[in-house]
Amino acid sequence: MDGHSGLLQNVQMASLPLCNQQITEQGVINGDTGATVDPRKLRYNQQITEQGITNLEWKQNTFGLHSSPGLLYNQPSALVGSRTDVASVTSWSAPIIWEGTFDSTLIDSIYKQQNLTIATTVFALGKYVGFVKDFLESAEQHYFVGFRVHYYLFTDQPELVPEVKMGENHSLTVRKVQSLNRWQDISMGRMEKLEKLIENELASNANYIFCLDIDTKFYGHWGVESLGRLVGVIHPWLFDTSRDRFTYERRPKSQAYIPAGEGDYYYAGAAFGGSLENVHNLTKTCREQMSIDVANSIEAVWQEESHLNKYFLLNKPSKLLSPEYMWRDINESAAQIKIVRFTNVPKIYAEVRPNL
């Protein structure tokens, strides 16, 4: 059977197959009518397992924003914003997080009461395993410090993963995956692996997930101000330009197609996240759209990033992170960037990508 087979953990049964039903590679077949439940027609939170059709049971994120008694912090203003040089809200009322738009003392106090777990995934195939040490060491200094974090590292060379001391309530799981010859295939394959990780392990064991690139490094605070139902990061090279210059997929044959004149922001594929339920829907949808493209012999111009931008156009993020959260290079500057939190690491792509 295909990837839908195998008993999934952490699921709640919606219905078991009846005595006149049969589970096959094509789905669940009704013996009386011959009707088949096509796996492609399942809702995004449903699975076909050996026991039938199941619903994923998500870890709940329903809690109030309770402040601690006696906590002292700066008084917010209803009249004057702390940033007048940038937009801090989208046209659909989602916040855009910049330095100066949140109070770490207050927001950390609120979220520390919730006993959260933040899953974080990275992929390090081929020579990209050389970026693991800097990523993890810098993350341990700046990324969700004081909160429970579980890193999931996918690599084809687990024996080369360096030992990095994890902070309190931080842990690392290394998963071996198959080597691939094209960096484009590595990029596109991430969505399926993320989808299955959420289904098989994380659905009821974590509150939020961030999916990050490994060839990156943290330089500043990245904390709970970034959490939201569905979170996108504004691309560092395209945050200050018009939509007609966005590098969307412009060929109608692709499922990632965005026509000229449409689009909100251009989002970076190197960082996205949200609740487990919402990121599962994102990864499942993008994986399905990429599969259609493969069947139609077309590959989106920026692979998964193109499909991510199409998804965010139709499913608006509930929170946007400014380019502080995915900057170009620590040595680059821009007037709007008051702090660099997370950056790409300079590299020669021909030396690290397998097919260049």
- Give the annotated binding-site residues: 128, 213-215, 235, 247, 305
- Spatial distance between the Cα atoms of 229 and 249, rounded to a whole number of angstroms: 26
Q: Are 211 and 197 in contact (CB under 8 A)?
A: no
Neighbouring residues of 145: CB distance < 8 A, sequence distance ≥ 6 = 167, 221, 223
Nearest to residue 294, comparing CAs of 322, 261, 255, 257? 255
Please work out, in degrees rounded to the nearest 5, the angle formed at the alpha carbon of residue 207 by the alpha carbons of 201 and 209: 75
How distant is the alpha carbon of residue 58 from its chain centre? 16
Active-site residue, from 99, 277, 304, 305: 305
CB burial string 202-219: b at 16+ within 10 A, e below: bbeebbbbbbbbbbbbbb
Tokens (6 digits) for 273: 């996240």
Q: Bridge partners of 27?
A: 24
- Spatial distance between the Cα atoms of 48 and 80, rounded to a whole number of angstroms: 53
Tokens (6 digits) for 179: 């080597």
Helix axes 303-314, 183-197, angle to 10 degrees: 50
Tokens (6 digits) for 350: 């021909």
The beta strand positions in the chain, using DSSP E, are 11-15, 21-24, 27-30, 36-37, 46-49, 52-56, 96-97, 117-124, 148-155, 170-176, 208-212, 216-218, 230-234, 267-275, 319-321, 342-344
Q: Bridge partners of 212?
A: 271
Under DSSP, the state recorded for 95 is B
Q: Give the residue numbers of the binding site for UDP-N-acetyl-alpha-D-galactosamine.
A: 128, 213-215
50 is catalytic: no
Which residues are designated catalytic? 305
